[in-house]
Amino acid sequence: MIKMVLASKNRHKLEEIRDIVKELDIQLISMEEAGLGKLEIIEDGKTFEENSMKKAVTVMEKTNTIAIADDSGLEVDYLDGRPGVYSARFSGENATDQDNNRKLLHMLEGVPLKDRVGRFVSVISVSFPDGRRLSFRGECEGIIGLEERGLGGFGYDPLFIVPEYDKTFAQLGSDIKNSISHRARALEKFGRKLKKLLGEK
């Protein structure tokens, strides 16, 4: 089993990624479990790729262990791609999910559903102690709802409607969400690559 450290303190993200990669031969531990509970990584990149790789490399260098990181967010076409890389702090540095959702709804007030097109984006980066660095991008298209629906998930999930199901991520349940989400798609690419790498040894 391959030990990897997830470069994130987000408990929801840890649980979700563990669920998605459970078929892979990976022991995924948190930053706290790796002794990095107090480490703060400034996400100052202009792209998901930059932020994701910075987190992975930083944690790999601190632990000398393979590190995996996710940087993800919501892009809304009507808002020219915002909130994008600033999704988690859309309403400020200490913004809650509720704060961010309220701001997004306010900025889209009066905009009809057909013009509320957006997508969740996830970039999974992996940094190996031997210097190898890999990134995988996944996207999931959807519509930004007129109000929050559902109690599951986290972040913008109550607002993000998946047209094929006519439900938000927060309504779909983790089994369906974790099979179609942006993060699932990026991790699927990562899983295929990992199997090839293991096959080489």
201 pLDDT band, cuts 50/70/90, is: very low
Which pairing describes strands 26-29 and 2-6: parallel, antiparallel, or unpaired? parallel
Q: How many CB atoms lie within 10 A of CB 64?
A: 8
Please state which CATH number belongs to domain 2-200: 3.90.950.10
Q: What is the pLDDT of residues 166-200, one digit of tens each?
A: 999 999 999 999 999 999 999 999 999 988 877 75
Q: Where are the domains of the chain?
A: 2-200
Angle at 147 between CA 146 and CA 149, to 5 degrees: 125
Whether the pLDDT of residue 35 is over 90: the answer is: yes
Q: Would you state the structure tokens that stand for residue 76, as one six-digit string? A: 């809304």
Residue 200 confidence (pLDDT): 52
Q: What is the pLDDT of residues 38-64, one digit of tens each?
A: 999 999 999 999 999 999 999 999 999
Inter-residue contact 181 to 140 (CB < 8 Å) = yes
Angle at 120 between CA 117 and CA 125, to 5 degrees: 155
Residue 127 confidence (pLDDT): 97
| Prediction pTM value | 0.92
Residue 1 confidence (pLDDT): 87
Q: What is the pLDDT of residues 108-150, one digit of tens each?
A: 999 999 999 999 999 999 999 999 999 999 999 999 999 999 9
Active-site residues, by number, are 71
Average the pLDDT over 1-10 and give the result.
93
